Amino acid sequence: MDVTILSIETSCDETSAAIVKNGREVLSNMIYSQIDIHKKFGGVVPEVASRNHVEKISQVVDEAMEEAGVTFDDIDGIAVTYGPGLVGALLVGVSYAKGLSFSLNKPLVPVNHIEGHICANFIAHKDLEPPFISLVVSGGHTHIVHVKDYGEYEILGKTRDDAAGEAFDKVARSLGLGYPGGPLIDKLAKIGNEKAIDFPRVYLEKDSLDFSFSGIKSAVLNYLNQQKMRDLPIVNEDVAASFQKAVVEVITDKVIAAADKVGVTTIVLAGGVAANSGLRHEFESKLENRDIDFKYPPIVLCTDNAAMIGSAGYYEYINKRFADQTLNAISNLKLGEKYYVNQN
């Protein structure tokens, strides 16, 4: 029997609603982005983000329903991101979803935002099934995840300090590129010389699958300061290309090592930085002669969106992992943790 999920995502600065059928078929995926609002601040301002979610959420849900050609009678469950993310932003989506669930008497399905990013690949690749390794890489997260089964995850490695996307944003800011920094670094890197500057590759202890990006961020800042002090030119394109190359080399080496360690033959990308062309190219190059399948979602499913929450919500729904009206936003929710969930 078909299961149709209305899903809501408000963890950061995108207000999104989607209608997803059976976890893999997207009937609509409406996204209202606040990037232009936050650009002038150089980053996301939590209070501003929350206020804009409040203003837009009803409209975005209505548009998703209209685009999909469904009514509330057609909906089987309401899925919503309840963490991790900005607590005020999360609360807007959680509160709205709880209201819908209560008024419509439909199951409320809590979804972990990181799990949603991983599940975006189920939408993009209909034949994808666990087990596989997923790299979740964004402004807030850098995780190597062993996806053992639907909803069953083991984190094999994660960042010990900055997330990769956070390092991209900080380096972009130091170069005066603006916000969001990731796409701007990627664009510059395409025309720069990746061998121009030898930035450090941080691998940590032997066989460690963890990451550390604070060192390379500091190395870039030190390089820029030294060039200025010596009155030497700074070629932004070369800085961007050399920085990006140093980051993606370490990431790809560790993810491939993780796949070899657990013996899986599929690697998938997830999260905003999964859209980075340098990262994708590095994987494709290193896996060219390996018997490992490499997949990633289209860009619209890399950034925050409700379709991925609908996919993850489907697998929670069929396992009857529902929440009641005590569901709360959890800003630091970890992958695999299940809070405020009732087995019905």
Look at the pTM and tell me if it is higher than 0.85: yes
The stretches of the chain forming alpha helices (DSSP H) are 35-39, 46-68, 87-104, 113-124, 164-174, 181-189, 214-229, 236-262, 277-286, 299-302, 306-318
CATH number listed for the domain at residues 130-298:
3.30.420.40
132-164 tens-digit pLDDT = 999 999 878 899 999 999 989 999 999 999 889
- Per DSSP bridges, beta strands 341-343 and 321-323 are antiparallel
Instruction: Give the closest residue to 138 by CA, choosing from 286, 236, 241, 251.
Output: 251
Angle between helices 236-262 and 214-229 in degrees, nearest 10: 160
Residue-averaged pLDDT of the chain: 92
Helix H or strand E segment including 289: none
**3-state SS class at 10:** coil
The residues with which 146 forms a beta bridge, in sequence order, are: 133, 154
Angle 314-320-321 (CA atoms, 0-180°, nearest 5)? 85
Q: Taking 80 as the threshold, does the pLDDT of residue 196 lie above it?
A: yes
**3-state SS class at 271:** coil
Do residues 244 and 118 lie in contact, with contact meaning Cβ atoms separated by under 8 Å? no
Q: What is the mean pLDDT of residues 26-39?
A: 81
pLDDT for 37 equals: 64
Distance CA(97)–CA(95), nearest Å, equals 5
Angle between helices 214-229 and 164-174 in degrees, nearest 10: 10
Q: What is the mean pLDDT of residues 300-328?
A: 94
- Single-letter amino acid code for the residue at 112: N
pLDDT band at 50 (very low <50, low <70, confident <90, very high): confident
pLDDT for 336 equals: 81
Do residues 80 and 94 lie in contact, with contact meaning Cβ atoms separated by under 8 Å? yes
Distance CA(276)–CA(221), nearest Å, equals 22
For the chain, the domains span 4-118+302-343, 130-298
Q: What is the mean pLDDT of residues 98-107?
A: 97
pLDDT > 90 in the chain, percent: 79
Which residues touch 143 (CB under 8 Å, ≥6 apart)?
A: 114, 134, 135, 136, 137, 155, 157, 158, 159, 335
Q: What is the mean pLDDT of residues 285-292?
A: 94
pLDDT for 343 equals: 46
Q: Do domains 4-118+302-343 and 130-298 have the same CATH topology?
A: yes
pLDDT for 344 equals: 45
CATH 3.30.450.20 fits 4-118+302-343, yes or no: no
209-221 tens-digit pLDDT = 999 999 999 999 9
**Most confidently predicted of 38-42, 173-177, 202-206, 236-240:** 236-240
